[in-house]
Chains A and B, each alone.
Chain A
Amino acid sequence: MTEWQVPSSTLLAIAPAVVALFASPSMSRQAARRLGVGTTLTVLALALAVSFAWLLFGGVPACDRFDPGRWLGASPLFVVDGLNVLSLPFAALIFSFVLLVQPGTDAIERSLRRVLFSETVTLAAFLSSDPFVLAVLWSVSAAGAWYQLRSQGDDGRGAARVFASYMLPSCVLLVLGAVMLQIDSGIARGTASLLIALAVMVRKGIAPLHSWLPELFARAPLPVSVLFNAPQIGAWVAIRIIAPRAPLWVLEFISLASLLTAVHGAGMALVQTDARRVFAWLFLSQSALILVGLESQASVAQAGGLSIWISSGLALAGFGMTIAALEARRGPLSLRQFAGGYERKPLLAICFLVLGLASVGFPGTLGFVGQEALVHGVVSDFPHLGFAILVASMLNGIAVLRTYFLLFCGRLERDRISQGLRPREQFAFATLAALLVLGGLFPGPFVRSRSSAAETIRHAAGAEKTISTEPASSGRRWDAPGWTDPPPW
């Protein structure tokens, strides 16, 4: 492992929290936005610098000499490697983007410190691979979201109860799993994998453990829901802890449940009468697809899952925030009838459609490449059920266009006063949409990096397998690349 002499990864993890500690709770809304955007953009620049430095130094795992783990005399806590090298700028970008486009109607000055703490927790989680550290960060992040949900008054209290009913067991399961992982026995490791898998399924909203997610999206402020879910800490735990250690049947169980969730979520998105809930179910469906890929045995599917994680995460964050921007202009967004109003906010409508289509992997966007790799890989794992991805993708596309039509078309608004985007919103939405489209036209480097990340998972699995006490037959079939296998039809 390379040791950097500058406190890069440590600084990356703690910088937002340090700013949050010194931020005055009584600052004005504009000052809060300026501070938040400035901090998150600086963290984004730092994350990009760390990623480039990692590439320049040969792409081997790296930590810095100021790592808190070293001070405690243990192994490094924050490590940069092939898996998180893109996840760090990805998470930092989501935080910057959300703070940039967060509607002026939201009390940013009140939530800023929590948002910055939440960024620290997310980045620290992405830098860490220790099950205990991840369990603590996971619980802290859930507690933060719960607190914000609860502070929404009567409306949020019930939703906070639902949230807690699911998140509390998931935290307990993760901690228990982390404890059991320390026991050197095959049965204990299998049980630990199952417990952690259940925790991940709750956090990712895999059916039937998903009911908290649509409720959170429907009741909490959208920035809170997006920042809690879009970075996908659940997926991170899945690839860091479950994928290298879990026996085959656990992985297949997660994949199958995720596959069915993807279809269920897509179908549910089509019957919703509220834009937030459509977004929630779309999110759930796409998020399940990520897990299908990550827990697959074909490396092409893993690369696909890792690609969708980034592309869909960014697109969904953008899609969610377009809904937030529209809500700020129009109030609750019912889908019971056509709302119209394209003429008054054409750019918002265009960004809504482009980001929506990008989030479901439409051709010409970055999501398409991940979806393509995923479906080809998963069919080799599940020759018949794998086609469910096509069904989910088909339904998700229809849901996006239906929502677009209902929210922006079908009626002529008499009022001609423009409700267009403000310059900061226009910059953020258009840049994100352009990034996803241009990334879709030139996806080579992105997919290469995801493929090498998939290799990192495989290597980790190989390393775990050599120290595993389980019989070889129950271990993971890592060498099943799919396309070279004889067709199982």
Chain B
Amino acid sequence: MILSSILTGCGLTVVAAPVLVLVLLGMASLAGRPLSENATGTLMRLALATAFGALMVVVLAEVVSGARAMRADAGTWFSAPGYHFRVSFLFDRLSLPFAALTIGLGGVVAVFAERYLHREPGYNRFFVMLVLFVSGLLITTLACSVELVCAGWELVGLSSALLIAFFHERPAPVRNGLRAFVVYRGCDAGLLAAAVLVHHWCGTGDLVTLLGPGPWPSGNVPLAGGQITVLAASILIAAVGKSAQWPLSGWLPRAMEGPTPSSAIFYGALSVHAGAYLLLRMGPLLDRAPIVAGVVVVIGLGTALHATIVGRVQTDIKCALGYAALTQVGIIFVEIGFGLREIALAHIAGHACMRSLQFLRAPSLLHDFHQQQNALGGHLARTGLHLERWVPVALQRRLYVWALERGGVDALLDRILVRPFLQAFGFCDRLERRWVKYIAGYGAGSHHASEERDG
């Protein structure tokens, strides 16, 4: 009994530690007295070390007891008639490695950023966003209910958008942050819809009820085929947006406007894999929805091809790394689609660590090259020429133009989705103003400050 309470406490501490630091940093900012760089860094390290220690206790307990999953239940967060939002965290063979990655890489990036952003005006803001991201991702990863997954998922999206716009005195990062947020929010609707449907069909949002009591990766979904397909498709929409899969991958290179440490943890390591994680978690749904699994394979394959071609013409290292990451995430999607979940998990872990290292070294790339060239006494040999050897020259030119335009996907999406939306509501707005003008009797000669504002 005591052991169980200790383990539950440790499980909850994993999430509570960063959340507490988030509240502390946030409240200090709201009070107009942001903490000093030292205090912020120390708090961050303390929180992540505590969370990591607590996580290791849970791992140890599972290894010793041979249990394949443990659950830490914090009770009901709130309840309304016929609806209970339970806060419960699941520590199994899928969530444990991902949580360890989140805390570990979060810690590495935090320590790196302490020096990298030293005396940067947005130092405090960066750390608030970083801890918001870590908290959100831990909630998403460990959540045992689909509603909790949604809550964490949206926090991850917000922190990502705000960090892309970190250098907010320039318009480009801000525009790109907004673009990423639009994609996130649009795709998040898929996950929110899935949460509502799960509650509606299962009577609860509990993942164990939805996916069956068996340990991951096995599962048994107690729903009919059509329902499973709808659920899996909704979840796939959310995964595609968060993992920047084709055709929604246009925001990823734009996201590189953010500071390097955030690019490393978001688009090299964790955020970009969150979609893959979600699909892994919902794997039993994909098992019973072969059409959706097929779509996952096609999307993954398309993304890998698109990213490898477009990545070759990038002229800055962060974008090149971003596309390289996207290629791997595409391959991970293919693995998930084929049901190779353990391989996909190992692929995520390896790729996240390697890519974060590359991103964190990116600012020193020229220095590294010089060192290597000095050591070799000449230029480095060119690599990655196999595509050029295999692809006919005529096709190479077309692919080159296609890659420069990033496939024209963003422009196409703007044309078929964004523009009609804005035009439709713009038309409604004009109609509205005409109607109001008619009632108000605003004459052509009247010219007021607010009319000038209205345009």
Contacts and interface: CB of A to CB of B under 8 A. Distances in A.
A332 B450 contact: yes
The interface size bin for chain B is 35 or more
B440 A363 contact: no
Contacts of A401: 158, 161, 178, 181
B112 interface: no
A372 B442 contact: no
B316 interface: no
A7 interface: no
B34 to A, nearest CB: 9
A299 B82 CA distance: 8
Interface in B9-62: 23, 26-27, 29-32
B31 A387 contact: no
A303 B78 CA distance: 12
Contact of B422 (A270, A390, A405): A270
Given A390-B192, A441-B23, A487-B201, A447 B79 contact: yes
B99 to A, nearest CB: 19
A446 B450 CA distance: 39
A161 B440 contact: yes
B426 interface: yes
A369 B152 CA distance: 14
A362 B153 CA distance: 11
A274 B448 CA distance: 14
Contacts of A444: 76-79
B310 interface: no
Contacts of B71: none
A362 B78 contact: no
B147, B171, B436, B449: residue with the most chain A Cβ atoms closer than 10 Å? B436
A219 to B, nearest CB: 5
A161 B81 contact: no
B432 to A, nearest CB: 6
Given A162-B439, A487-B201, A343 B121 contact: yes
Given A162-B439, A487-B200, A373 B453 contact: no
A211 B436 CA distance: 7
B448 A155 contact: yes
Contact of A362 (B158, B203, B448): B158
Given A158-B441, A214-B432, A409 B165 contact: yes
Interface in B423-455: 424-426, 428-429, 432, 435-436, 439-442, 446, 448-450, 452-455
B186 interface: yes
Contacts of B155: 363-364
Contacts of B192: 375, 390, 393
A376 interface: yes
Main SS class of interface, A: helix
A329 interface: no
Nearest to A443: B78
A277 B121 CA distance: 32
Given A161-B440, A336-B455, A351-B30, A411 B169 contact: yes
A480 to B, nearest CB: 10
B450 to A, nearest CB: 5
A405 B429 contact: no
Interface in A201-249: 211, 214-215, 218-219
B351 to A, nearest CB: 28
A481 B446 contact: no
B282 interface: no
Given A215-B440, A342-B168, A154 B189 contact: no
Nearest to A350: B29
Contacts of B169: 340, 342-343, 409-412
Interface in A250-273: 264, 267-268, 270-273
B240 to A, nearest CB: 16
Interface stretch (A61-69, A131-139, A450-458): A450-458
A259 to B, nearest CB: 14
A489 interface: yes
A274 B449 CA distance: 12
Interface string A458-487: 000000000000000000000001111001
B165 A405 contact: yes
Interface in B258-304: none
A454 B81 contact: yes
A332 B200 contact: no
A482 B82 contact: yes
A350 B30 contact: yes
A398 B425 contact: no
B30 A277 contact: no
A333 B151 CA distance: 32
B80 interface: yes
Interface residues of A, number: 93
Nearest to B203: A483
B196 interface: yes
Nearest to A153: B448
B421 interface: yes
Contact of B425 (A267, A336, A350, A410): A267
A33 interface: no
A484 B203 CA distance: 8
Contacts of A340: 168-169
B154 interface: yes
A483 B168 contact: no
Contacts of B436: 162, 211, 214-215
Given A155-B448, A158-B442, A267-B421, A273 B455 contact: yes
B85 interface: yes
Contacts of B168: 340, 342, 405, 408-410
B254 interface: no
B80 A304 contact: yes
B426 A332 contact: no
Given A159-B440, A363-B155, A397 B450 contact: no
A380 B200 CA distance: 8
A162 B432 CA distance: 12
Interface string B154-169: 1100100100010011
Contacts of A159: 440
Contacts of A451: 79-81
B171 A338 contact: yes
A2 interface: no
B454 A277 contact: yes
A394 B189 CA distance: 7
Contacts of A300: 80-83
A433 interface: yes
A379 B186 CA distance: 19
A333 B436 CA distance: 21
A91 B188 CA distance: 34
A218 B450 contact: yes
A447 to B, nearest CB: 4
Contacts of B80: 299-300, 303-304, 373, 377, 447, 450-451, 454
B353 interface: no
A434 interface: yes
Contacts of A270: 421-422, 425
Interface string B184-217: 0110110011001001110100000000000000
Given A405-B178, A409-B165, 13 more contacts: A155-B450, A158-B441, A211-B439, A276-B453, A299-B82, A332-B453, A362-B154, A373-B80, A375-B196, A409-B174, A434-B27, A487-B200, A487-B201
13 contacts: A158-B446, A159-B440, A271-B422, A274-B455, A336-B455, A340-B169, A362-B158, A379-B196, A394-B189, A405-B168, A421-B32, A483-B82, A483-B200
Give the 10 A-B residue pairs with the shortest CB-CB distance, closest first.
A158-B440, A409-B168, A412-B169, A363-B151, A303-B80, A299-B81, A447-B78, A332-B453, A155-B448, A410-B171
Interface of A: 154-155, 158-159, 161-162, 165, 211, 214-215, 218-219, 264, 267-268, 270-274, 276-277, 298-300, 303-304, 332-334, 336, 338, 340, 342-343, 347, 350-351, 354, 357, 362-364, 368-369, 372-373, 375-377, 379-380, 383, 386-387, 390-391, 393-395, 397-398, 401-402, 405, 408-412, 420-421, 426, 430, 433-434, 437, 441, 443-444, 446-448, 450-451, 454-455, 481-484, 487, 489
